[in-house]
Structure 1
């Protein structure tokens, strides 16, 4: 497991990132953001964007959607507010400072939750995933876009080393798939729908979960 994170470290890191985040990360992560938005948009009208940051993906949602964006970093959210105002994004109905691990949102209140590049930045990833699942309506989806580290080889060794060097940056480069698989495999109401690699260089993955009874359990009930 990589270096531990804490909320204060993450807040400080993203306060530093806020002025340059779009310049550094917009183009290299744009394909993934568009794919994640397309997946979440199909799940329903009302969508919670967790870790909305500066709001790079907000213009990709259609006018018929209702988007609420939350983020731990107030400086990042101010950039998102500027984007919403300048582009007149009427589909964005709210932007709030909020912790992904303790969402101030009622149970089952969104058709989908999108969390782009978030799970590796929170101190308790499994707790955050539980919160995402809690606020999604039965039949809705959780859409993650995240870095998944290599299981072995030179890249795995490099990611372990990098994890020790980058705690102050507010993210965790060493994040194996087993952390996510162990989460959904132990939660009968969560079903993995899709996992596919995304650019650049397949370093990221689009991961979709449905919230509700396991597909196998639903099938048994039907027959």
Structure 2
């Protein structure tokens, strides 16, 4: 709130602090949920994703921007070497795509609309799910 005042961020209407896996919003409330750099930082990513979907209206989109671990190649080797340092910072550099795919299949009612790497070097991914 201090930053909002200090930087005169008049576009920020309200701020709320809450647990990402227990959002204080009703079911089917939002047209879109955008979570940037969240999924690999929360203690329970699947429960967090479940609550994101809960607050989405049918037809709404969950938009994630996150680091997804490389499945092979030099980037995977680097990520595995960097993992001990990253974990101390609260990151999961090896977070696999399969974890998101398994969550979506188990959850049901969500479909993958898009998955694409973003610059630089595809280190981060834009992932869009649609609530059925």
TM-score for both structures, normalised by structure 1: 0.55
3-state SS, counterpart of residue 25 of structure 2 = coil
The structure 2 residue matched to 1:111, chosen from 11, 22, 31, is 31
Q: Does structure 1 conserve the Cα–Cα contact (< 8 Å) formed by 2:52 and 2:62?
A: yes
User: What is the rounded CA distance, in whole Å, between the counterparts of 1:201 and 1:174 in structure 2?
Assistant: 16
Match of 1:88 in 2: 10
Task: Quote the residue 1:139 is aligned against.
Answer: 59
Partner of 1:187: 107
CA-atom RMSD in angstroms: 1.7
2:100 counterpart of 1:176: no
Q: Which residue of 2 aligns with 1:129?
A: 49
Q: Across the two proteins, how many residue pairs are aligned to each other?
A: 132
- Give every structure 1 segment of 4 or more consecutive aligned residues whose post-TM-superposition deviation is greater than 4 Å: none
**1:1-223, aligned counterparts within 5 Å?**
78-79=2-3, 81-82=4-5, 86-89=8-11, 92-212=12-132
**Cα distance, 1:187 vs. partner?**
2.3
Unaligned segments of structure 1, at least 5 residues: 1-76, 213-223
Look at both structures and tell me which one has the larger radius of gyration over its CA atoms.
1
Question: So what's the TM-score if we normalise by structure 2?
Answer: 0.90
Q: Deviation string for 1:112-160 (max 9, x for gaps)? A: 1000111111111111111100100111110000111111233223212
Alpha-carbon contact 2:63-2:126 (below 8 Å) kept = yes
5+ long unaligned stretches in structure 2:
none
- Alignment partners' CA distance in 1, 2:48 and 2:103: 11
